[in-house]
Structure 1
Amino acid sequence: MSHSEANRVRIFDTTLRDGEQSPGASMTLEEKLQIASVLENMGVDIIEAGFAIASEGDFECVNKIAQRVKNSTVCSLARAALGDIDRAAEAIKPAASGRIHTFIATSPLHMKFKLQMEPEAVIEAIHKSVSHARNLCEDVEWSAEDATRTEMDFLCRAVEAAIKAGATTINLPDTVGYTTPEEYAAMFRTVIERVPGADKAIFSTHCHNDLGLAVANSLAGIAGGARQVECTINGIGERAGNAAMEEVVMALKTRSDAMPYHTRIKTQEIMRASRLVSTVTGFTVQNNKAIVGANAFAHESGIHQDGMLKNAETYEIMTPESVGVTKSVLTMGKHSGRHAFADKLKDLGYELGDNAFQECFRRFKALGDRKKNIYDEDIIALVDDEVATSANRMQVVSLNTYSSTTGSAFSDVTMMIDGEEKKAVVYGSGPIDAAFNAIKQLIGFEPHLQLFQVHAVTQGTDAQGECTVRLEYEGRTVNGQGAHEDTVTAAARAYVSAVNKLLVKREKTAPAPM
C-alpha cells in the first residue's frame, strides 16, 4: 500500500440512515435518490442508504440507490440477526459495489439491560452474524455499539472475533457522544496494537455530538489509526447529531500540515449538498455553523474588514470557493432565452428532463416579470421547488388572499387533486392560517402543524421566500418545502408538499441506534 493510500481517509456518509433518524427528518424515496446522487458526485466513498429490514420503504430506498449509484459503495445497516442480514444483502444486490454493515452492543450497560445477553453469547453472535454476512457480500463492516463505554479486554476480543469471521471494516462508535479526543485516539491505538489481524481491516470512527466533540473525536480517531470516518451532511442525526462531514473534510484539507491525511471529496460540492439536505429535512443551518453557515465567510468587525481588504488570508483560512460558496450573482432576466437558461442550470449543477425544464423555464420567465433582480439563489430555489412538487398528486393551482389589521383574513384556493380541480374560500386569523384552513378543507383531513418557518432566499423586499412546513398525522411526521416571491404562496406550496408526502406510506418499524 502506497504512503498516499495509507493516509487516505474514506468518507462513509450516513445522512440517509443515521441522519434520517433525526426527529422530523424523514425523507421520501425521490429525496433520498437526489441526495445520494449529490453524495456520489462529491466523491463519497460509502453511502449508507438505509436500514433495509426496517420497512418496505427503507428496503426500496436502499435497493433503488443501489441501482442508481455507480461510483460509491452502497451500504445497508443490519442488526446481528440473520433475517436483517439477508434483507440487507437483497437490498444492495444491484449495487456495483455493495456493503453489509452489521452491529451489536458490547458495553456492559447495553449487554445487560438492552440485549440481556452474557458476554460469551455476544461473542458468538458476532461470529455468527459476520460470517453469515461475509458469505453474502465480500465487503462487511462490523460495529461495536457503545464501544467507548466497553471494557478494553472485551472490546479487543469482540474485534478479533469480527475480523476472524471476515469483517473488512471495524467501526468503534462513540454512540452516546461520551468520549474525549485523547481517550478515543488511545482506544484505536490499543485495539490496533493488541488485536491479531488488525492490519487486515480498516478501522472507522462514528461519533455523536452530545458534548460538541464529534468532529474533534473523529479527527483524534484518525490520528489513532482509523482510516474511515462516518459522518453526515450538516452534522444531522439523533439527539445532538453526528460528526459533520464538511467540517471533518475541510479540517483535513486545511490543516494537512498537522494532519497528513486526505479524502477524495470534491469540496466545491459541499455547499450544494448542505443546502439540499437543509431543504429536504427542513433543518435550517445556523448562521455561525462552521464551513456552511451563512456567516462562515462574513466579516462585520471593522478590524476584520480592514484586514480582509488588504489580504483575505488575514481572517480566512480557506476560500469560500473551496467549499462552493459564491457571491450572489446577478443572473438573467425576463428577456433571457431557453438556451441561456439551460446553460445557467448546467452551471448550477442541474440536469432536468424536458418536462421539468419547460416548467422551470416558464416559472423563471414569470418570476422575471415580477422580480427586478434574479440571482443564482433564486433559480436554485425555483428548481428545487419544482423538482419537489412536479410529480405530486396534489398541487396548488391558484391562491388569492385578503387580510387587514381590523378583521380576519380569508383565502381563495384552487387545487388540482388527482386530476380534478377543486376550490375553497375559507377564513382564518391571518392569510397563512386562512390558506392552510382552505387546503385542509380541500384535502379532507387535518394534519397537525409542528413547524412553520420561512426565510428570504436573497436580499430585497421582492426576494423569494423559501418555506418549510412540518406536519404530523396518525403518527407520521413529514416535511414540505415551497418557494415563491409571495410568502403566502410559498407557505401553501410547502403545506401541500408535506400533504403529498403523507399520502406516501413509509413507516419505520425497527430501531437502528448506533
Structure 2
Amino acid sequence: TVVTNLCVLQDYYNVDVSHIKTQYFYQLSKFISEIIEHPVPLTAPVIGQNAFAESFGIHVEGVLKDQKTYFIIPPALVGQKQSIVLGQTTGPEAVAEFLAENGYGFLEVDYTREQLQELTLEIQSYCIENKRISETETKLLVEHYFQKEPLQSKIVLDDFEIKATTNNFKVKISLIMDNGQRKQGEGEDSELISAIVNTLKNILGFESMTCE
C-alpha cells in the first residue's frame, strides 16, 4: 500500500516510483499465495479479491458515476478491476450494471424501471435467504425472471479447483442444483479423472459412479 499511495501522491511527495510495475501486484500476490498455500484475505487492501468491490446501494451509485468517489487508488494501477457485488443491500443501479455487462440489455430499452426494481427485490430476497449469491446464481435468477418460466431442471458448475501434489490430485467442486441450492464437495485420487468423479460422488451422494 505504501508504493501505491506514493504512485497516487507522487507529485505531493515529489517521489518518482514509475519504475515499479504496480500493475502486476495482484497477479504476483496470487502467485505467491499459491506457492505458500496461504490464501489472500478477500478484503485485503489493494490485493484482496474484494478490495475494489462495492455492494451497498448508495456506494455503487457513487462508484458508477465517479470511481474516485470511494477508490483513491485506481484498480487498474495494481492489476485489479472494479467490481459490483450483488447482495442484501444491492440497489437498482448495481443490478442494471450487471445486466448490461452480461448481455441482458439496458434500462428503458430492454426492460422497464419497474422490472428492474422487481428483479432487485428478488436478488435481495435471495441473498437474505442464502447469505450470498454467485454470478451463476444471479444469471439463473435473471433468466428465470425475464422468461417467467420455472427454472430448468439442470445442474450448473459454480466453481472448480484442482491442486496437484506429489502423489495425487485434490479437487474442489461447487454446483448449483436445479432448486438453486449450492452444494460443495472435495475428493482426491492419484488420477485426475478419478479425483473429479470422487468429488461428484461426494456432492451428489452416488454410491457408484463411472466416467466413460
Q: Report the TM range for the smaller structure's normalisation.
A: 0.3 to 0.5
More strand per residue:
1
Report the TM-score when normalising by structure 1. Answer: 0.19
> If you compute each CA radius of gyration, which structure gives the higher value, 1 or 2?
1
